[in-house]
Structure formats: C-alpha cells, structure tokens
A and B are shown apart, each in its own frame.
Chain A
Amino acid sequence: MARVLLKNVTKKFGNVIAVNNLNLEIKDGEFMVLLGPSGCGKSTTLRMIAGLETPTEGEIWIGDQLVNDIDPTKRNVAMVFQSYALYPHMTVFGNIEFPLRMAGVPKQERIKKVKEVAEFLGIADLLNRKPSELSGGQQQRVALARALVREPQVFLLDEPLSNLDAKIRTQMRFELKKLLSYELGITTVYVTHDQVEAMTMADRIAVMNKGILQQVGTPDEIFYKPKNTFVATFVGSPPMNLIEGSIVEKEGKILFETEYFSLQLPNDVPKAEEAILGFRPQHVEVSLAPKEGYVKGNLLGVEKLGVENYGHIGYGHLEIVVRLPEEIRVTRGEIYWKPQENRIYIFDPKTRRAIYG
C-alpha cells in the first residue's frame, strides 16, 4: 500500500498537451476518482501512473520511490482495463495465476492464492472456463481477481463499469467500493466520465478538463463548493443553471438583473457589472401562484424521470431547468420560481471562477 504523488506532470503527444502541469496527491488507502469528459487527460494520467506512458515533464512518486524510469513490469501497480483485457487463450485460473507466475511464485502458493481470491470474489466455480464463456459481469470479476491476486501497492481502474449493462453497473459500483475501500483499503485511482460513479464511490474526486486539473475535493466539496463553472456544470444532473447578468444595489437590496427578470440575492453578494448566477435545478422553490420575490416564467415542457420531474422555463434564448415538486402536475403555462438563498453561486464571467457560494 502506498500513496501516489504527481508533481508538475505534463504529457505531450506531438503538439497536443494531454496533461498540463498536474499536481495531485493520492493518499495511502484513498479511493481517488479522476473525473472528466473524454479527452480530458484522465486516462493518460492513469497510464502514466501505470508506466504505460512516460511523462514529458514532472515526477511521479509511488510510496517513497520516484518511478519515472521504472518499467511497468516492476512498479507493482495493477490495472483493470475498460475491455478487461483478459487473456483469451487461458482459463480463468490461468488468467488469475498469470501475474504470480511472472513473479516466480512457487506453484503450490499460486494455487492457494488464486483459490483464495476467486473465493473472495465469488468466481471459484468458474476457474476452468475460458473468458469467452463468461458474462460481462463475470469477466469483470476475473479482471479484478487478476489485479488483486498479487496484492499491488496501487490499484488502477480505467472505466471498468462502462461495458456493463445499467443494472449490473449499479450493483458493481457499490461492490467495488466496498471491496477496495472498506475491506482491503488499497490506494485506488479510478477513471470515469460518469459523475454518478464518481460521487458514489470516491473518497476524493479530481475533476479534469482539457488536461488541466479543475478541482480536487470530497464529493460534497465538488458538489456544493464548485470552484468554477466547468465543475459546477459537469457534476450534477441536470447540470447547474448558469445565467449571465449584473449584480446591482437598489433601495438597499442586492439584485441580480438580466434583460428578462430581476432577482433578489442575499445582502453579502458582492456587486459586479458582469456576473454569472448559478443554481442547481434541485435548489429552487417553485409555485403556481405569484409569490413575493419569485420570478415569473413560462413553462416550456416537463421531463419526467419517475420520482423527479424537471421543468424547462424559457426566456428568449435562455432556458432554466428546475425540479418541480411532486404536487405540481402542470406541463405548460405560467410558473413562479426562486433559487434557495443559501444555494446560489456567483461566477466571474472572465475567469469562470466562483466568487461567491
């Protein structure tokens, strides 16, 4: 078990900067999720920790060892690939045994360890099958077993759930977390573009975009204290509403003004000629009748997701999404809304950074 430290790590492919000056520490035993859209550099970062890519600049430390020049065969990190990358010509037993065989572990011990880990993951009855005879979920477990069997210092997972169907994915999500964090306590780096996976599994999340680390924090920090508009909109579903306008003081009140409406904000919000107001669809109060401080809007339509319904409210080019309380059943017409005061964010339109909230 070990911590992983990335110091000023940059990776260039020709002229493309895949990872730009990344600094990140993954603590001993921590479950770190690298989250971001495709092409954000999260997989490249993972591959650099594994040693499959060499950083153009910077240092990568595993434990107390600088590993930049250490071959992946000697790093003692294990990785689960998106495609699982099982060896198709070997049985499940052969697959799990393989890293031990390569490490020169004696045969009796190998058999014992493979059986142990297979038992642990509930695949002991599959040991004689070939990977092609397994379901996606079973292949996934074999890939996990192969990675776990040699007790790696660091455990790397590259979108391991994306090839599973929705039901098994939800189930495996919790199982993986339980296994890696609660039962084994292995230092884990998990790459995903799925924010639900990130939120449910991570001890901490590192959000990346275009090769640049946007924010590192616990799921709560990422959700409730986003540092910029990218994090604010990437995490959370539906994404946070962002509205451009200005913040002015009138008759002792702080108001957020757009060409369509004005909205009263808490008194400690700083004034700004240009600002972006942000609030999540879940943090809005909605009413069918006019109320003091509520903004009138025209409901364009409703997305029904079962328990939750989201209304789209239109203002010219601008569209706002709000969660509708269960008792509101209308799908069109006039509606009144107001964001909860303690759940609003103000971003600087130039730097896109949060300045309030």
Chain B
Amino acid sequence: MTPKEREKLIRRIWIVITYVVLITFALVYLMPFIRSLVASFMTWAQASRYPPEWIPHPFTLENYEKLFRLELFPRWIRNTALYAGLIVAGNILFASMAGYAFARLKFPGRDAIFSALLSLLMIPMFVTLVPNYIIIYKLGLIDNIFGLSLLGLTNVSSIFLMRQYFMSLSNEIFEAARLDGCGPIKAFFYIALPLARPALGAVAVYQFLGSWNAFIGPLIFLRSPENFTLPVGLSFAFQRSMWTEYTPIIAGSLVASAPTIILFLVLNKYLIRGIVITGGKG
C-alpha cells in the first residue's frame, strides 16, 4: 500500500466513523418523533404494550378521527394562533424598542438596568407564576387569552438578542443619520428597524415556537375548555379520571406540531442567525 492510498483509507475510515456517530445521535433524537408517528396509527392497547411494538397492527385512523370529532379542536387551533400571534407581535414591538434603547441611546443607569434585566433570566418561571397569577387575577383577566398574552408580550432574551444586533450595526450609519437631521426616534424607524429584519425574524420564530407549544402558562391561566390552547386542550380532552388516552393526544401533538415544523424548515436560517447574533459580539 502506498502512503497515498493509506492516507485515503484512513480518511475514509474517519468519514465512516463520523457518519456512524452522527446517525446514532440523530436516531436518538428522532426516536420520540418516530415513535409518536407510529403510535398515532395504533390502538391504545397495542401502543401501551411492553416490549414496544413498531408496526401498527391493526393499522387504525381512529385516533385522528377522534381528534377531528372534537368540537373544540378548531377553536383551540384558533386560540393558539391568536396567542402565538399576540406574543410574536408584542415581542417584535417591545423587544426592538427596548433593544434599541439599550444599544443606541445614552441614559442614566442604562447598563445597571440592563444587567438587572439579564439577571431575570436566572429566575425560573415557576417562581414568578404565583405573583403573575395574582396580578392577572386582580386585573380580572384569568381565563382570557389576552390576559395570558400580557405576560409574554416581551421577553428578556428577545431584548438581549435585539440589543446585540443593534450594537453590531455600524455606529457611523447612525451618526450619518443624525447629521442628516434624524433624531433618535426617527433613526429607529428609518434606519434601525429596516436594518434589523434578520434579528426580528429570529425573535419572531423563537417566540412563535415557544408560544405555540406552551403548556404550563395556558394550563394555569385558562379555565374554560373553549378558551384552551391546543396543547392544554388535547390533554384535557383525553384525560379520563383514572387513565389517559394517549394515542389521540399523540395524534393531536403531531397535527399541532405541523406548523412549527413547516416554520422551521422555511425559516431555519433566521433561527441560526439568531444564535449567531447572540453568540457573536458580546
């Protein structure tokens, strides 16, 4: 074997090893999804059997039929869309303004306020759940999608992402705008916002994914079934007093995740850019 052939062989072996490792991990991550997909076509009796079976026998569409027979299913989708829409709109509006202020304006206490805001990231959501509940209760907005949305209209990580993006823009462009007669507010609308489209896209995608899949918040703040979002509604519909019918829930989560999967396929470059923005300049 010549040294060149040897080198080629070693490279090939490495590629094989790399692929084996990658495929193994991909399978591990894909497993729950594949399992759900398969189970959604099984009867509950077969799906709950141990050791698990992988081929639906008998093959059934009953789970999907149950799902679409639910009167409230379209309503839950509408509620979820409304909730996600409000959250995305709120985050784009408020996070871009707050991020711009933290990145571009000079005001007393700016950095202290920003650090305080960042430290909020360390507080687990469950700690603020009760105080938040009390606030929303006092406002009379329990069991109301708008009340629930109020809590998520802005978000520290969105502000952080927008701030990092605005800081990465060239200072000279803003100085030029100032000399062209553009005060800070005009500069926000004419210069900063149009230039921030990639970051806004990233915020929108993250917030959409988060709110579309949200469970704990809607579970606690919403009461009547007609106000439920999809994740809460599904678990409500198929939970019996002693046991839960999991297979229709599985079918429902697959249907529910369709928009997020499509969104991810279409917009994944924004997601990745969002990671690059926050990870880049700090």
Contacts and interface: CB of A to CB of B under 8 A. Distances in A.
B178 A52 contact: yes
10 contacts: A72-B178, A73-B178, A73-B182, A77-B179, A81-B175, A86-B176, A87-B177, A89-B195, A98-B182, A102-B186
A85 B183 contact: no
Contacts of B179: 50-52, 72-73, 75, 77-79
Contacts, number: 57
Given A52-B179, A81-B175, A102-B180, 8 more contacts: A73-B178, A73-B182, A74-B181, A77-B179, A78-B179, A86-B176, A88-B195, A98-B182
A80 to B, nearest CB: 9
Contacts of B180: 98-99, 102, 146, 150
A89 B183 CA distance: 19
Contacts of B175: 50, 52, 79, 81, 85
Interface in B170-220: 170, 172-173, 175-183, 186, 190-191, 194-195
A246 interface: no
Interface string A37-58: 0000000000000111000000
Contact of A103 (B176, B181, B190): B181
A309 interface: no
A99 B181 contact: yes
Which of the four size classes fits the interface of chain A?
Answer: 20 to 34
A87 B181 contact: no
Q: Can you list the 4 inter-chain pairs with the closest CB atoms, starting with the nearest? A: A102-B181, A85-B176, A85-B172, A99-B180
Contacts of A98: 177, 180, 182, 190
Interface of B: 170, 172-173, 175-183, 186, 190-191, 194-195
A91 interface: no
Contacts of B183: 71, 73
Contact of A81 (B172, B186, B194): B172
A86 B172 CA distance: 9
A83 interface: yes
Contact of A79 (B176, B181, B194): B176
Q: Which of B177, B178, B180, B191 has the most CB of A within 10 A?
A: B180
A73 B182 CA distance: 6
Given A73-B181, A103-B181, A87 B191 contact: yes
A71 B190 CA distance: 19
Given A102-B182, A103-B181, A89 B194 contact: yes
Contacts of A72: 178-179
Contacts of B178: 51-52, 72-73
A81 to B, nearest CB: 5
B272 to A, nearest CB: 21
Contacts of A71: 183
Interface in A83-97: 83, 85-89
B194 A83 contact: no
Nearest to B197: A89
Contacts of B177: 87, 98
Contacts of B172: 81-83, 85
Nearest to B181: A102
Contact of A85 (B170, B182, B194): B170
Q: Which of B176, B179, B195 has the most CB of A within 10 A?
A: B179
Nearest to B174: A85
A13 to B, nearest CB: 14
Interface string A88-125: 11000000001100110000000000000000000000
Interface in A212-254: none
Contacts of A87: 173, 176-177, 191
B256 to A, nearest CB: 36
A140 B70 CA distance: 65
Contacts of A81: 172, 175-176
B65 to A, nearest CB: 50
A71 B184 CA distance: 11
A74 B181 CA distance: 7
A103 B190 CA distance: 14
A213 to B, nearest CB: 24
